[in-house]
Amino acid sequence: MAAPEYVPQPKADQPRSYESPPWSGDVGRVEDYFAPDNLEDLEARLGLAAGGLNPGAAVVFACGLRGAIGGTIERLVGRGFVPHHRRIRRALEVASDVPASLYFEAYEPGPVLDLGAEEAVRAMRERLRKAAY
């Protein structure tokens, strides 16, 4: 079996104009990759068909500030991506035997999602169930 292909998609939130050489990559928050109007472009970059970004085809690793990570999780659960974080999995009622497909590193301490926001968590849980991870 061939090793999976690693396809990084670097994005700088606020590139410094004085860097040499200047940043020429994507600019913006990481969760913007997964906004509905950007998904088709991302899938094309990754060599996936439209709608092909899902846990059966990819694993996502996102890094950034808590808000960016939380936004990434909120957008990707609707595609069936399951976070690796134990508390988030429990809040979303994901069985322990379901493999994780969304990993993250937050650059500041504290939770990336407000798991006490019952309505928001319920909505994510429903989107994840509909995606049939």
Tokens read off for 113: 């999602």
What's the rounded Cα separation, in Å, for the pair 61 and 4? Answer: 14
Nearest to 73 by CA among 56, 92, 57, 50: 92
pLDDT band for position 45 (cuts 50, 70, 90): confident
Q: How far from each other are the two terminal CA atoms of the chain, in whole angstroms?
A: 23
Question: What pTM, to 2 d.p., does this model score?
Answer: 0.86
CB distance 125 to 90 below 8 Å: no
The residues facing 102 across adjacent strands are 60, 83
Q: Is it the case that residue 49 has pLDDT exceeding 80?
A: yes
pLDDT computed for residue 132 by the predictor: 76
